[in-house]
Structure 1
C-alpha cells in the first residue's frame, strides 16, 4: 500500500497546491486561445468560467466532506459507482487530463523561457525545456509532502504577488481602462458557439482545484478545510485571471494577442515596460509553471496509486524499487514527457478540455443519481453544473471539429480506449 501521512498538509499548503496548478497553466497558456475564440471581451470569459467552476466545485466539496481521501476523485467515483468500469474509466480520464495539464504547463515553461532569448516558440527547445522541467518535478516529488507543500506555497505566493504587480502596472499604463480590446487588423469572425467554447478553456484554467481533493486524507481537518481550500483557491485564481486579462486587453489588440497566442502575457508587457517588463513576466511565468508542475504531479501520482491499490487499474513494477506511489510518479512523468514532445499548446489544451468535462459530468451524475440521500447536496446546483458542462462541451467540440477535427478524434479515441480497456482489465481480474 502507498504511504499517506495524515494531517501532513495544512490549509495554507492545500491552497498552495490548488493555486499552484491553476495559475500556472491558466493564464500563461490559455489567455491567447481564449481571446481567439471570444474576441474583444475575452476577460469576461474568465468570469464566466469562474462561475461555471463554482457550480462544479460544489459537488466536489460535498463529496470531500463525506469521503475525505488521498484518492480524491477516484474515491468519489468508487462511492458513486462501485468498483466498476465507469469508476475506473472516469478516474483514468481525470488522471489523463491532469497529466495533459502537466504537459501544457511544461510547454508553457519552454515557450516563456525562450522569450528571454528571442527564440521562436516553434523551436525544438520548447519541448526540450519542458522535459527538463518534468524531470525536476519528479526529483522534487520524491522529497515528500512536507517539502512539496512548503515549496509550492512559497512559489504560489511569489507568483501571485508578481502577477498582481504586473496586472496593476499594466492597468495603470492603460489608464485603468476596462474597455474592450481594439480589434486590430483582420480580427476573428466569431459565432455564439465560439464564445461558449472559450468558456470551456477557462474552465480548464480553473480545474486545478481538483488537486486539493486528491490530498483529502492528508489535509488537516479535511471536512472543514478541503472546501475552504477549494473556494479560496478559485477566488484567488479568478482575481488574478481577470486583472491580467484586462491588463493585456489594454496593451494589445485582439489580432496581436492571437499572433502571440502562446506567449501573450510576455508580449503584453513589451509596449508599456520594454524588455524589463518581458523579463519580469517570464520570470513569474517560470515560477508559476514550476510550482504548477510539482503540485499536479504530486496529486495525480497519489490518485493513481489509490486506484492501483484498489486493483482498478493495471500495474507493473518493471523492476523499479519503492512503493506503488513512486511507480505511478514515474508513469505520470513519462506520459507527460511524451505529450510535451508530440503536441503543441492548443492541441494539448483541447484534449484536456474534452477529457475533463466528460469526467466532470460523470461526477455530477454520481452525486445527483447514485448518491442521493448519502451526500447532502442541493440538487438544483448539481443539476446546473451538469447542464453547464454539457452545453460547454458540445460547443467546444463543435468549434474544434471545424478547426481541427483530428484532435477531437484523438480525444474521443482516448476516451473509448480507456473505458473499453478498463472493461477488459476488470473482467480478466475477476
Structure 2
C-alpha cells in the first residue's frame, strides 16, 4: 500500500498528532496551575516547569518506543497489556486511568463553561452548565467524525493558541521586570522540587499522542516524532509563559488572580483587550483539551473491551456513531461536571497519571529488547517518576489528608470494579 493510500485510510499527520498532544496539555494545565505552583515555588515556577518537562520527556521516550513497536489506538493501555498481560495489575491500572481521564475531562469542561459564562453571560451559573454540556456534546460529535477531522480541528485550534501565546510572550517580555525574577528571591530548592509534582500535571496530555498510533501514517517512524514535537512545544511554551507572568506580576498577584493569571499579566501591556483575548484563548484551550481526552478515552476503552479487561459494551458500535464506550464516557463526564465538586479530587489526575507512567516505563524496560530502547534512559525515567510520585504523595498527605484519602478510595474502587467484572466474565 502506498503512502497516499495509507494516509487516506489512517487520516492523521505528524503535526496533527503533535497538536493533539499540545492541545491536551495546554488546555488541562497552564490556566489553573500558575497560582497554585506559585504558592509553593514562588517566581521559580519556570524552573519547576522545566524540571517537570525533563521528566515528561523521559516518559515520552518510553511511550514513543512502545508506540513505534506496537502502534495502536489503545495507546498506553495497549502498552500495559503488552508489558504485563491482561491480569489484575493491568486491569486495575486501566480502570484507574479511565477514572482519572474522566475526572480531568469533566474539570476541563467545567472550566470552559465558567470562562464562557464569565465572558458572555456575566458569570451566570445556569449558562455555565449549558455551555459545559454543549462543549462536551460538540467534541463527542467531532470524535465520532474520525481521526482526519480531529487532526484538522486540533491543528487549526493549536495554531491559533500558539499564535496568541506568542503575542502574549512578546508583550510580557517587552515590559519584563527582572527584579521579580531575581534568583535571590527564589524559595529553597526543596520547595521548587516539591512544586514539580504540581507542574507535572500540565504535561499529562502528552500520552494522548500514544493513542494516535492506529490513525498515523507510518506510526513506527512518525509517532516518536509527534511525541517529542508535542513535548518540545509544550516545554518551551510553559517556561516562556511562566517567565512572562512572574516577570510582570508579583507572586502574590499571581496567586490572587487564580485561573485568570495569564489574562491579568496581559492587561498591563495590552489593556482590557489583552484580558479578553486571553479569556477567549482559555475557551479554545479547554475545548481542545476536552476533544483530545475524549479521543483518547474512546481508543482506550475499545482496546480494553477487545482484550476482555473492560465489559464488551465499551467496544460496541453506538446507534449515533462511534462506540458505546464514548457514549458512556460522555454521560459520566456530564454527571461529574454537574454533581461533583471536582476541585476536591483534582489531584487524583496527577497521582494516577504518575502511577500509570511509572508502570508504562517498567513495561518498556521489560520489552526493551523488542523496542530497541536504551535501558539507561528508561531507568532514569523510572527513578525520577518514582521520586516525583513520592514527593507528591507526601505533600498531599501533609497538606490535604482528605484528598489523600480520596485517592486511596478511588484505588479501592478500581480494585472492586475489576473483581466484580472479572467474576461476571468468568461465570459466562
TM-score, structure 2 length as denominator? 0.89
Q: Tell me which of 24, 41, 45 is aligned to 1:21.
A: 24
Matched, 1:374 2:370: yes
Q: What is residue 264 of structure 1 aligned with on the other side?
A: 261
RMSD: 2.9
Question: Which shows bigger deviation, 325-334 or 281-290?
Answer: 325-334
Q: Is the 8 A contact 2:21 2:205 kept in 1?
A: yes
The 5 A counterparts of 1:116-195 are 116=119, 126=128, 128-174=130-176, 179-180=181-182, 194-195=191-192
Is 1:355–1:415's contact at 8 Å kept on the other side of the alignment?
A: no
Higher alpha-carbon deviation: 193-202 or 52-61: 193-202
Do the aligned residues in 2 keep the contact of 1:251 with 1:272 (CA within 8 Å)?
A: no
CA contact (8 A) 2:262 2:278 kept: yes
223, 226, 231: which one aligns with 1:226: 223
Please say if 1:33 is aligned against 2:29.
no
Structure 1 residues 218 and 323, CA, compared in 2 at 3 Å: closer, same or farther? farther
Structure 1: gaps spanning 5 or more residues? none
**Structure 2 partner of 1:313:** 310
| Matched position secondary structure for 2:10 | coil
Q: What residue in structure 2 maps to residue 304 of structure 1?
A: 301
User: Is residue 253 of structure 1 aligned with residue 256 of structure 2?
Assistant: no
| CA distance in structure 2 between the partners assigned to 1:249 and 1:55 by the alignment | 27
Look up the match of 1:198: 195
- Of residues 92, 95, 102 in structure 2, which corresponds to 1:92? 95
Residues 336-370 of structure 1 deviation map (CA, whole Å, 9 limit, x = unaligned): 223333555654431100111111111112222x3
After TM superposition, the structure 1 = structure 2 runs for residues 223-372 of structure 1, keeping only pairs within 5 Å, are 223-316=220-313, 321-322=318-319, 325-342=322-339, 346-368=343-365, 370-372=366-368
Match of 2:3 in 1: none
How much does 1:285 deviate?
Answer: 1.3
- 1: CA distance between counterparts of 2:182 and 2:77? 42
Normalising by structure 1, report the TM-score. Answer: 0.89
User: Whose helix proportion is higher, 1 or 2?
Assistant: 2
Gaps of 5+ in 2: 1-7
1:413 partner SS: helix
Measured after TM superposition, the shift of residue 178 of structure 1 is: 7.5
Query: C-alpha displacement at 1:310, in angstroms?
Result: 1.8
Closer/same/farther in 2, CA of residues 111 and 39 from structure 1, 3 Å limit? farther
